[in-house]
Amino acid sequence: MSDFPMYGLSEEQQAVREAVRELADAKIAPHAAEVDEQARYPHEAAAALQASDFHAPHVPEEFGGAGADALSTVIVIEEVARACASSSLIPAVNKLGSLPLMIAGSEELKKHYLGALARGEGGFSYCLSEPDAGSDAVAMKTRAVRDGDHWVLNGTKRWITNAGESEFYTVMAVTDPDARSKGISAFVVEKSDEGVSFGAPEKKLGIKGSPTREVYLDNVRIPADRMIGAEGTGFATAMKTLDHTRVTIAAQAVGIAQGALDYALGYAKERQQFGKPIADFQGLQFMLADMGMKVEAARQMTYAAAGRSERGDADLTFFGAAAKAFASDTAMAVTTDAVQVLGGYGFTRDYPVERMMRDAKITQIYEGTNQVQRIVMARQLLAGVQSEL
């Protein structure tokens, strides 16, 4: 049974929230609409996050990072997402891309690449999905063939967040075609490696400031010591990674939902109809109440999952999937309601809630669709792996 969670943030975690919110309000939010409109990378946010050591807060202190715990990292992502969902993918994807090294990498590999990430020498992306291997990741076709002291990689990875911007990539590739999931290995590939190239940015519904591109590997020759963990353990490492990083997507969803709720509340108090603020009408009050209730429920589930991520609890797989599914469904519902609160104005790009609604949609899809999350949860329940609390 998991230890009973301590409710309430520590002074340090509260200080992190206040610092990130101040940073986001001052240096990220003012550029969010333009970043979305121009579908450009949020360089202002990247610079501000790096200067404040919030670009990859999860990196341990021994490698030069801030050493933030899982909940503090969640708070960073949540607060950035409240201002700009695209920008929140900087700390979120840096954790996703580098966590396989933290889980299974050699000390030399961790020191080199986690140190570079902490110093701001390049972001870290995660390459699992392929054109014909999305939810069915084991169906991947990217190959890695041993050649002396090197591995040679060939294949295409699709839906890679921040591809082209990141300097480093954790790439899953088949090293033994007959072993299915146990024939997949993980590698670190660098943007500068010969044979690495990128497709055109996808034209997306939301998170337009975070480029999503294909990564092409054409006879990419890398040293053998860039394998993460032992040969054949890549898929297991990938799944362990997602157990932890689904919590960060839940945090992003909570942040998006909170941003939409905050804006809707302010608007409802200012907008006058029939001689009084629309916030005075009970029908709207009930809608706002439901929005607030859902956001807080999602936040509590996300924080509970973050605690399990930090401790490595046995029921993390259930809680990570549950938090991600619940928070992302909440973000979609709350942002849709926020548009409704603003009425016709909510449907225009002059106001941020339509952007938040578009951004929220992807949280129900990436790092495993919410249908996949429900499969994961059901398997955990049927196996009896869930907190007794």
Active site residues: 367
Q: State which amino acid sits at residue 75.
A: I
* Residue at token pair 């924080």: 303
The structure tokens listed for 348 are: 């225009």
Q: Is residue 247 within 8 Å of 74, Cβ to Cβ?
A: yes
CA distance 370 to 333: 14
Q: Is 188 helix (H, G, I), strand (E, B) or coil?
A: strand
Dihedral sign from CA coordinates of 69, 72, 78, 80? negative
Phi/psi zone of residue 312: left (φ > 0), alpha (ψ -120 to 50 degrees), beta? left
The DSSP annotation for 67-134 comes to: ---HHHHHHHHHHHHHH-HHHHHHHHHHHHHHHHHHHH--HHHHHHHHHHHHTTS--EEEE--BTTBS
CA distance 144 to 130: 15
Distances (CA, A) of 287 to 20, 268, 292, 294, 356: 29, 11, 9, 11, 18
Q: Is residue 377 within 8 Å of 317, Cβ to Cβ?
A: no
CA distance 167 to 252: 23
* Residue at token pair 């990083």: 245
CA distance 340 to 35: 24
Compute how many other C-beta atoms are within 10 angstroms of the C-beta atom of residue 367: 26
CA distance 221 to 223: 7
